[in-house]
């Protein structure tokens, strides 16, 4: 079987080189090391590298990296997120969400692009949404019970 050419994919303009690079804390950014536990609201204008534990809320103008040794239980709003460890909560990404082969995500997620490597685990809901994820992207997920088509179990034509 021949590989699918990039121009035949749904988003051919999404260059592979545009994917966030592997975590490199030496490049700058905020780092929560493997011996640290953070509980509260974490805000950063740059990338965040989590090797330890983070609970609460995360607002990241860059990329949130959840390393293999890390656990993140938070509501997250980030430009992008790369999950190689354990994560749970609501994730809203403006560009892309990547779940690495060693990664595990439980909860709701929203991003224009989702990349799930073979071996990764995702349990929850995903909403593909464009650009600005907004402050409360999950409020509109509830299905309206007022709709007669849904309340009667019938499809309207």
Which range (8-12, 48-52, 98-102) has the least confidence?
A: 8-12
153 occurs within a structural domain? no
Domain tally, the chain = 1
Q: What angle do CA 63, 68, 70 make, to 5 degrees?
A: 75
Let me know if residue 144 belongs to a domain.
Answer: no
Scanning 36-154, the segments in alpha helix (DSSP H) are: 148-151
Which pLDDT score, from 0 to 100, does residue 91 have?
Answer: 97
Is there a domain that residue 60 lies in?
A: yes
Segment 67-82, tens digit of pLDDT: 999 999 999 999 999 9
Q: Whole domain around residue 103: which residue ranges? A: 26-130
pLDDT, averaged across the chain: 79
pTM: 0.70
pLDDT digits (tens, 9 = 90+) for 101-133: 999 999 999 999 999 999 999 999 999 976 554
54 pLDDT band, cuts 50/70/90, is very high
pLDDT at 38 over 90: yes
Binned at pLDDT 50, 70 and 90, residue 7 comes out as low
Q: Which long-range contacts (CB under 8 A, 24 or more apart) does 85-94 make?
A: 85/50, 90/137, 90/138, 92/133, 92/134, 92/137, 92/138, 93/133, 94/131, 94/132, 94/133
CB contact at 8 A, 100 and 83 = yes
> pLDDT tens across 135-153, in order?
445 555 444 344 344 334 4
């Amino acid at each position: 079987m021949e590989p699918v050419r990039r121009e035949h994919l749904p988003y051919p303009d999404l260059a592979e080189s545009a994917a966030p690079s592997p975590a490199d804390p030496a490049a700058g950014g905020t780092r929560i090391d493997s011996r640290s536990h953070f509980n509260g609201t974490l805000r950063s204008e740059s990338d965040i590298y989590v090797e330890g534990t983070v609970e609460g809320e995360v607002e990241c103008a860059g990329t949130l990296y959840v390393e293999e040794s890390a656990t993140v239980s938070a509501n997250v709003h980030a430009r992008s997120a790369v999950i190689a460890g354990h994560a749970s909560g609501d994730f809203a990404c403006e560009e892309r969400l990547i779940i690495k082969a060693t990664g595990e995500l439980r909860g709701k997620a929203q991003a224009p692009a989702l990349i799930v490597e073979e071996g990764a685990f995702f349990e929850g809901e995903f909403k593909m949404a464009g650009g600005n994820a907004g402050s409360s992207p999950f409020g509109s997920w509830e299905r309206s019970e007022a709709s007669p088509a849904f309340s009667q179990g019938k499809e309207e034509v």
